[in-house]
Structure 1
Amino acid sequence: MTTSAPAEESAQESATTTDDLRRSRRPWRRTRIALLVIAAVIAVVAVTTSVTPWPSALLIRAVFEKGGDATAAEMQKHVPDVELTEQLDIAYGDAGADTTMDVFAPASAAGPLPTVVWIHGGAWISGEKENVDPYLRIIAAEGYTTIGVNYTIGPEGVYPLAVTQLNDALAYIDEHAADLGVDPQQIVLAGDSAGGQLASQMATLVTNPDYADIMAVEPSIEASQLVATILNCGVYDLAALARLDGIAGWGFKSAMWAYSGTKTWAEDSTGATMSTIDWVTADFPTTYISGGNGDGLTWLQSIPMAQRLDELGVDVTTLFWPAPHEPSLPHEYQFHLDLPDAQTALDRTLEFLDQHTTR
């Protein structure tokens, strides 16, 4: 039987329409598959981040490390052409790179010098001593021994491991003072951001016996050896930190979970003992404290800490900027030495050291 031409044309049109329909559905099918894959990834990430802090901590660390490298490079341009002696990667403990320190001093030094022990920041989950080495070279060039200290960050190590390591570092510095060019009777504890919190915590351990008992840590130096603290852009009130929301709140809460090893850090001994604003006493050493006006931690942490120390009768030197100050100074502004305001902070820091140490 022979099919008529119109029937053939109709069959061809029908086949063409079916093929076109199939092709038109393919992009939607691909899109649907892609959406299902994305949804599955989001679900996995949501479940993972609800049971472990590692993914969030590593994401935050990557961002911080990039910024830390850039800031160190910016500071390096401002290191003066002064000959220094450098002792790098000195082991003060047995945890590898985590328990090492870098020591800088002017090559012209004829004896031990007042010593600034600097604890780096990084939200307790990132950072390393090399981030602050250029700043320590700048201070050393002015006639000080400066020491940058590493400690185990979270989530690899959990609180209070860093505190006990830093106490070990101070013990090493005290024991090897002569070899390091350290005057063990003139030690200044300093830090930035999370390192500011840790510096305040170590100073509180040294000057408040009740706090040392609560922490079950025997301070490795005497209060008489600690002549001052330098606190930049730090955290001193964990309850206030826990009230943060938005991206900043997520970041700090993720970091604290990673550092403490528990989601309930704000409700237990971790938050309580890290909140040095509640433990400082009139015996806390004379303190320089600063923060940028564009940094929320200045208003939430640094200014209240300065006010608390002042209430206790501690000698406090502050460098804060009016709220409308321009440019708005960010977190860790003091390291951005291309800024005139950061140069002002450096000058004030050196003036503070000169006033409270003897060379």
Structure 2
Amino acid sequence: MTSTTEPVADRDRGTPAERPLHPWRRRVAWAAGSVLVLTALLVATVLIVINVTPRPGALVIRALFDRGADSVTAQLEQGAPTTVDRIADQQYRPGDSDALLDVYVPQAAVADNAALPTVVWTHGGAWVSGSKDHYAGYYQRLADRGFTVVSLGYSLGPEHTYPTPVHQLNDAHAYLLANAERLHVDPNRIALAGDSAGAQLSSQLAALVTSPDYARELGVTPALSPAQLRAVVLNCGIYEVPAMTGTGGLVGWGADTSMWAYTGEKDVQNSVPVRQMSTLRHVTAAYPPTYVSGGNGDPLTETQSKPLAGKLTGLGVRTDTLFFPTDLEPALPHEYQFDLGREESRLAFERTVDFLEAHTAP
């Protein structure tokens, strides 16, 4: 008599579909599923948050921009002149911890107690980053060429919104006039300057000084008179804000987020602050002589710098421009003027000095 007996091991294991999971496998499967669920929840939460507030995106932009500015600042320290004194951390607005400025003065002017033509520089950083301490080596080099150079600090978004910086910078101008002798400022030979978002702010303050209608619209009484404001220097700036926003992609997202953080309004295309910030719309024939420059690899050159230069030229404003062939390689990026290792950037520095000397002469 023959009997067939199914192997115990096979019978106990069953088919793969019927076979129960080992306890440790059940734990691994549960953990993996939990991670997927938590990841999905995290992504959904982030998407909700960035559509409700600009703060997370603005802080990312701030970290990236400040990291780049710190690196450039360190490079500019190499070879910076040692014959320039710095008067640091002057509080130009009582009770406002963001309202600080630094003054760079040639030591010879300090020794002679001389007042020099003064360049008031507003830093960039997409209105959400940057510091008056950035690019100090550049300001030292400018001062070494016979200027008092002022680097202005101001409040940033999203912690503070428009028009706070406009009022701060106007107060800074008033402070410089009130302390002109101590700070070696010639109150009748002032130039406003800036880079990127700082160029936008400087161009806006110049429009306030030279357009009474625009000043009334913003409710600002300019500290400077048109006779005191002799020139404007604008590098890689933004002057028609809607042309920069709503373009999609990573760059468009950054522009939209920065504007939202700075203005407090998500619909930047239909924002009153955005319209007011767009200097291209507010310049007049009374605008000061202006130097405008941008790199061929900077997308703002074609959409912002060249249109502003064209508008000023059409109004009869004395306009000096420095642009480069579109096929120049390697291309000159945004904020190219601070990279003094490049011949084109050194040319831009010399052109800036020549322009300032011509328009701030006694």
1:350 aligns with 2:357: no
Q: Does the 8 Å contact 2:120/2:151 carry over to 1?
A: yes
Residue in 2 that maps onto 1:62: 63
* CA displacement 1:83-110 (0-9 Å, x = unmatched): 2221100000135441000001001012
Give the AA of the match of 2:350: D
Residue in 1 that maps onto 2:221: 218
Residue in 1 that maps onto 2:295: 292
Local SS of the residue matching 1:147: strand
CA–CA distance in structure 2, aligned partners of residues 92 and 284 of structure 1: 26
Relative to 1, partners in 2 of residues 1:159 and 1:12: Cα closer, same or farther, differing over 3 Å? same
Give the AA of the match of 1:288: Y
CA–CA distance in structure 2, aligned partners of residues 95 and 123 of structure 1: 25
How far did residue 337 of structure 1 move? 1.3
Q: Does the 8 Å contact 2:119/2:150 carry over to 1?
A: yes
Residue in 1 that maps onto 2:32: 31
Q: Does the 8 Å contact 1:74/1:338 carry over to 2?
A: no
1:233 aligns with 2:236: yes
CA–CA distance in structure 1, aligned partners of residues 26 and 326 of structure 2: 57
Out of 258, 280, 285, the residue aligned to residue 255 of structure 1 is 258
CA–CA distance in structure 2, aligned partners of residues 11 and 199 of structure 1: 84
* CA displacement 1:46-102 (0-9 Å, x = unmatched): 111111110010011010110010011111114123x22211000001354410000
Local SS of the residue matching 2:267: coil
CA–CA distance in structure 2, aligned partners of residues 67 and 284 of structure 1: 33
Q: Does the 8 Å contact 1:192/1:231 carry over to 2?
A: yes
Residue in 2 that maps onto 1:48: 49
- Work out the percentage of aligned pairs sharing the same amino acid: 43
CA–CA distance in structure 2, aligned partners of residues 197 and 101 of structure 1: 18
Local SS of the residue matching 1:103: strand
CA–CA distance in structure 2, aligned partners of residues 346 and 154 of structure 1: 30
1:99 aligns with 2:79: no
**What is the correspondence of 1:66-215 to structure 2 with a 5 Å cutoff?**
66-81=67-82, 83-109=83-109, 110=112, 111-215=114-218
Residue in 1 that maps onto 2:249: 246
Q: Does the 8 Å contact 2:265/2:271 carry over to 1?
A: no
CA–CA distance in structure 1, aligned partners of residues 132 and 45 of structure 2: 35
- Greater shift, 343-352 or 92-101, is seen at 92-101
CA–CA distance in structure 2, aligned partners of residues 188 and 28 of structure 1: 67
Local SS of the residue matching 1:117: strand
Length-normalised TM-score, structure 2: 0.93
Q: Does the 8 Å contact 1:114/1:182 carry over to 2?
A: yes
CA–CA distance in structure 1, aligned partners of residues 257 and 79 of structure 2: 34
CA–CA distance in structure 1, aligned partners of residues 130 and 296 of structure 2: 23
Q: Does the 8 Å contact 1:112/1:183 carry over to 2?
A: yes
How far did residue 33 of structure 1 move? 2.2
How far did residue 11 of structure 1 move? 5.5
Residue in 1 that maps onto 2:304: 301
Give the AA of the match of 1:67: G
Relative to 1, partners in 2 of residues 1:52 and 1:243: Cα closer, same or farther, differing over 3 Å? closer
Q: Does the 8 Å contact 1:89/1:97 carry over to 2?
A: no
Local SS of the residue matching 1:263: coil
Relative to 1, partners in 2 of residues 1:257 and 1:95: Cα closer, same or farther, differing over 3 Å? farther
CA–CA distance in structure 2, aligned partners of residues 188 and 62 of structure 1: 30
Local SS of the residue matching 2:130: coil
How far did residue 13 of structure 1 move? 4.0
How many residue pairs match? The answer is 355
Out of 282, 288, 313, the residue aligned to residue 279 of structure 1 is 282
Give the AA of the match of 1:107: Q
CA–CA distance in structure 2, aligned partners of residues 95 and 130 of structure 1: 20
CA–CA distance in structure 2, aligned partners of residues 34 and 315 of structure 1: 63
Q: Which runs of 5+ in 1 are unaligned?
A: none
1:338 aligns with 2:351: no
Relative to 1, partners in 2 of residues 1:210 and 1:98: Cα closer, same or farther, differing over 3 Å? same
How far did residue 145 of structure 1 move? 0.3
More helix by share: 1
Give the AA of the match of 1:106: P
Local SS of the residue matching 1:63: helix
* CA displacement 1:161-185 (0-9 Å, x = unmatched): 0000000000000111001000000
Local SS of the residue matching 1:72: helix
